[in-house]
Amino acid sequence: MSMDLLNFAIESMQTLPTKLIVSAKMPGQLDHEQRLMADYAAGLGIAVETASEKMMERGKVPLSHDMLVMGTVPFVHHALRLLGAQLPQHTPYPEVLKPWLYRKVWQEKSLRRVLDRLQNGGPRLFIKPVSGWKRFTGFVPDFADDYRFNGVSKSMPVWVSEPVTFVSEWRVYVLHGEIQDIKLCDHGGDAQVTPDLNEIGKALQLYWMRILHQVVL
């Protein structure tokens, strides 16, 4: 998956990047996926540099638009900010794609409201943050005092949905409204259970039309 993602990113740039900057917990110490990306880039003759999230956040990493930055969401977020860009609005459930959710999804004003209901015998629900990128990874808690909520503001708004058991999980790579590739995610489940390409095409067409409409406006 990591090399597929790197290939896709390079192709979208149309020319080889001058350097690949990969996130690392400590400079030079790469996780498995980051190591795969670094080795693959090096094989293409692309210079590779590692940096920690803190280094990127503090502007300690020289950047230019002909470089490719890959890593955690905060790492890439900091890089985009340093380059004068901004992340798009965080919208995990676009209104136009609701017909393909196949479950009820809604927003709650605060995490506290959801946890209070859970503590009082309410149903188990999938919870993830509304604002910010990866404030915490979405999950289905069994208890209101789950340790994964430690340090998280209980007043923050959250997305809530009915739990779903995924048999397989696939990633669709899209460039300018066109599908470039479809790959099974790492640990994505049963590879024999494949997505319906017709449904993906319908969803993509509606979503891309919405994006073009926003650009025109």
Q: What is the rounded distance in angstroms from the CA atom of residue 79 to the CA atom of residue 67?
A: 10
pLDDT at 4: 60
Q: What is the mean pLDDT of residues 138-162?
A: 93
pLDDT at 151: 87
**pTM more than 0.85:** no
pLDDT at 33: 75
Q: What is the rounded distance in angstroms from the CA atom of residue 184 to the CA atom of residue 188?
A: 6
pLDDT tens digits, 56-108: 999 999 999 999 998 887 888 899 989 998 776 768 898 999 999 999 999 99
Q: Which amino acid is at 188?
A: G
168 band by pLDDT with thresholds 50, 70 and 90: very high
In the chain, pLDDT over 70 holds for what percent of residues? 88
In the chain, pLDDT over 90 holds for what percent of residues? 48
pLDDT at 29: 77
